[in-house]
Amino acid sequence: MANKLNNGSFLMTGSISEEDSVLELYQTAALLLGNQEEAVATVERTVAGVEVDPCAEPAKAQQESRELLVRIALERAIAMDPLAFKPDTLDSGPDLCIDTDDLESTGITVEQLSHLVSGSGKTRLREWLEHLQPDSRVVFVLRAMMGKDSASVAAELRRANGGAGWTPEHVGRVFRGALCSLASSLVHAPAAS
């Protein structure tokens, strides 16, 4: 389930049943990886790897599950396309349409993103995510949908990528590029009925 954060991000959180928790893990993995089979395998590895008893400590098990899922999904995303996660290729990228990674500076409102995340716009969001480069998809999901900041995303990417040079600045640049793409996608999309 998605809850809006003060900064306009959406955090996958809440007290939910075990079935809903597995569904949330699957949805998160599918968004991060852009591949249903990989998402299923990632959830299976996550559920098998959780050490906390979900019956005894449901909140702790849920948190551990989310953290483990992100680690496994990042490792898998990098294994599937290692060149996409080389931050040195970002320095020569195109100029971005915005100078900040504030969502609303792109012209996208929190309400529009909320609609895309939880409303009838889910299909449109999934289609848009499928067209992003793997690094952009991962960074966007972690930043905009899971509420992580650039420093924590960079740390996760360095850990998953064997220490390769991801910095908060690299993450910010990738995130701004994804926001530009999303804004462009929304501007060019047919009006919702």
pTM of the model: 0.77
Q: Hey, what are 184's tokens?
A: 């462009």
Going by C-alpha positions, the residue among 39, 13, 10, 18 that lies closest to residue 113 is 10
* Count of beta carbons in the 10 Å neighbourhood of residue 145: 22
Q: What is the pLDDT of residues 98-149, one digit of tens each?
A: 555 555 555 566 666 666 666 666 777 788 888 899 999 999 999 988 889 9
Tell me, what DSSP letter sits at residue 97?
S
- What value does the mean pLDDT of the chain take? 79
Rounded to 5 degrees, φ, ψ at 15 are -90, 120
Q: Return left, alpha or beta for 13; rule: phi > 0 is left, psi -120 to 50 is alpha, else beta.
A: beta
Q: What is the pLDDT of residues 12-42, one digit of tens each?
A: 444 456 777 889 999 999 999 999 999 999 9
For residue 4, what are the β-bridge partners? Answer: 10
